[in-house]
Structure 1
């Protein structure tokens, strides 16, 4: 495994500088995407500050995480919001730094790490939505 890691590192270091520079550019959101996310996250954080579970559910992709048992706002509030949006977590999301990335499907995403949970927001055709809550591993 260590030999493979060294070989991979050597291959990356052998790439021409313009290729490495381009890879770095892909890690930044366009100004339009950043502006759209800034508007979304401001509303999301306002809903969290007010502990408005209905508003947060309205900013989540439903069914949540493709789970049909979390297909509407009431189910989201009962099964997700109650457990995953404690006062501590809401405060963390309000002050946490959102990190931009592109997912495997080349969607624009932002993630906020709070304790052992990662909250993922994905740009959808209708705008950004909370799409996933994963474990930090």
Structure 2
């Protein structure tokens, strides 16, 4: 009788431990997120959600390099719709951040959006190809 309870108890313990792992992993990333970056990220995501071109430009490293050209604020705002399509904006609403040394990144389809400090302030810095 005692032998039959051990496997059941072991299974229950394993299920409880494994069930809590995603939460522990998420807490681990949140613990590593710089609070200053987190404040930036909240503003950036809100500007994306509102489709606020000027707000996103304010949080972007300018000039912004796109296809080998440096875009000033007006140029960035003009290209905003091609950079932040409805699909990309939906992705921003649900995506998880990844920390890469001193920078952060998100993956939306074939694009990587990168964020880092510029003159001590967090900014959206570039878009790369997710290969």
User: Is this a same-fold pair by TM over 0.5?
Assistant: yes
2:69 is the counterpart of 1:75: no
* CA distance, structure 2, for counterparts of residue 119 and residue 130 of structure 1: 8
Deviation at 1:88, TM superposition (A): 1.4
Aligned residue number for residue 88 of structure 2? 89
2:69 is the counterpart of 1:65: no
* CA distance, structure 1, for counterparts of residue 88 and residue 43 of structure 2: 16
The answer (yes or no) to whether the contact 2:99–2:105 under 8 Å persists in 1 is: yes
* CA distance, structure 1, for counterparts of residue 98 and residue 34 of structure 2: 11
* Residues paired across the two proteins, number: 102
Runs of 5+ consecutive residues of structure 2 not aligned to the other structure: 1-28
Moved over 2 A (4+): 28-31, 65-69
The answer (yes or no) to whether the contact 1:111–1:119 under 8 Å persists in 2 is: yes
**TM-score w.r.t. length of structure 1:** 0.67
CA RMSD of aligned residues (A): 2.1
**TM-score w.r.t. length of structure 2:** 0.70
Runs of 5+ consecutive residues of structure 1 not aligned to the other structure: 1-27, 103-107
Deviation at 1:82, TM superposition (A): 1.5
Q: Deviations over 1:42-96 (max 9, x none)?
A: 00011011100111011110111386540x21100112x1111011101211221
2:97 is the counterpart of 1:98: yes
Deviation at 1:34, TM superposition (A): 1.5
The answer (yes or no) to whether the contact 1:116–1:136 under 8 Å persists in 2 is: yes
* CA distance, structure 2, for counterparts of residue 49 and residue 131 of structure 1: 19
The answer (yes or no) to whether the contact 2:61–2:118 under 8 Å persists in 1 is: no
Mark the structure with the bigger radius of gyration. 2
Aligned residue number for residue 14 of structure 1? none
Aligned residue number for residue 128 of structure 1? 122
* CA distance, structure 2, for counterparts of residue 30 and residue 64 of structure 1: 30
